[in-house]
Structure 1
Amino acid sequence: MFRLRNLVSVVVFVGLVAGGSWLVLNRQLVLDHIRVWQYQPSQDIATLADRATMTNKAKFSFYLAQPRLENATQFNHDCRRIEQASPIVGCYSHAKETIHIYNVRNAELDGIKEVTAAHEMLHVAWSRYSAEQRRRLGELLEAAYTKVKTKKLEERMAYYERAQPGTRANELHSILGTEFADLGSELEAHYAEYFSNRAALLKLHAQYNEKFTSAEAEADALAASLARRKREIEQLTASYHARINAYNQDVAAFNQRATTGGFQTQAEFQTERNRLSQRGLALRREQQTIQGKVDAYNTDVEKLNALGRKIDQLNQSLDSQKAVK
Structure 2
Amino acid sequence: MAKSVGKRIAQGVAVALTLAIAAGGVIAYSNRGAIQDHFLAAGFEPSDRIAQIQEEIKLNPTGERIFLASQPTIGGRDVFNRWCAGVDHTEEGHVLGCYADRRIRLFEVTDERLTGVVETTAAHELLHASWARMSQDDRATVSRQLIAEYDALAATDAEFKQRMSVYESLSKPAFANELHSVFGTEVRELSPELESHYAKWFTDRSVVVDWYDGYHGVFIELTAEAERLSTELEALRADIEQRSANYDIAVQQFNADAADFKLRNEQYEFSGNKPLFDSIRGQLLDRQEGLDAVRREIQADTDRFNDLRAQLVELNDVSLELNDVLDSTLAEPQERVDAT
TM-score (norm 2): 0.87
Q: Could you say which residue in structure 1 is the equivalent of 2:178?
A: 171
Specify which of 236, 258, 273 is matched with residue 229 of structure 1.
Answer: 236
Q: Could you say which residue in structure 1 is the equivalent of 2:82?
A: 77
Is the Cα–Cα contact under 8 Å of residues 89 and 95 in structure 2 kept in the other structure? no
Q: Distance in 2 between matches of 1:288 and 1:163?
A: 59
Q: Distance in 2 between matches of 1:26 and 1:89?
A: 31
1:130 pairs with 2:135: yes
Q: Could you say which residue in structure 1 is the equivalent of 2:125?
A: 120
Q: Could you say which residue in structure 1 is the equivalent of 2:200?
A: 193
1:162 aligned counterpart, secondary structure: coil
- Aligned pair in 2 of structure 1 residues 159, 85: CA closer, same or farther (>3 Å)? closer
1:64 pairs with 2:72: no
Is the Cα–Cα contact under 8 Å of residues 82 and 163 in structure 1 kept in the other structure? no
Q: Distance in 1 between matches of 2:248 and 2:171?
A: 58
Structure 1, unaligned runs of 5 or more: none
- Aligned pair in 2 of structure 1 residues 131, 108: CA closer, same or farther (>3 Å)? same
Q: Could you say which residue in structure 2 is the equivalent of 1:106?
A: 111
1:86 pairs with 2:90: no
Q: Give the number of aligned pairs.
A: 323
1:256-284: CA deviation from partner (whole Å, max 9, x where unpaired):
22222333523222221111111111100
1:105 aligned counterpart, secondary structure: coil
Specify which of 267, 281, 292 is matched with residue 284 of structure 1.
Answer: 292
Identity among equivalent positions (%) equals 30
Q: Distance in 1 between matches of 2:63 and 2:40?
A: 15
Q: Distance in 2 between matches of 1:45 and 1:91?
A: 15
- Aligned pair in 2 of structure 1 residues 26, 194: CA closer, same or farther (>3 Å)? closer
Q: Distance in 2 between matches of 1:8 and 1:293?
A: 98
- Aligned pair in 2 of structure 1 residues 196, 24: CA closer, same or farther (>3 Å)? closer
Is the Cα–Cα contact under 8 Å of residues 92 and 166 in structure 2 kept in the other structure? no
Q: Distance in 1 between matches of 2:324 and 2:193?
A: 38
1:261 aligned counterpart, secondary structure: coil
Q: Could you say which residue in structure 1 is the equivalent of 2:337?
A: none
Q: Distance in 2 between matches of 1:282 and 1:220?
A: 35
Is the Cα–Cα contact under 8 Å of residues 73 and 106 in structure 2 kept in the other structure? yes
TM-score (norm 1): 0.90
1:170-200: CA deviation from partner (whole Å, max 9, x where unpaired):
1111111111122021111111221111222
Q: Could you say which residue in structure 2 is the equivalent of 1:299?
A: 307
Amino acid at match of 2:311: K
1:287-306: CA deviation from partner (whole Å, max 9, x where unpaired):
11111111111111122122
Q: Distance in 1 between matches of 2:63 and 2:217?
A: 26
Amino acid at match of 1:238: A
Amino acid at match of 2:133: R
CA RMSD after TM alignment: 2.3
Specify which of 251, 254, 259 is matched with residue 252 of structure 1.
Answer: 259
1:219 aligned counterpart, secondary structure: helix
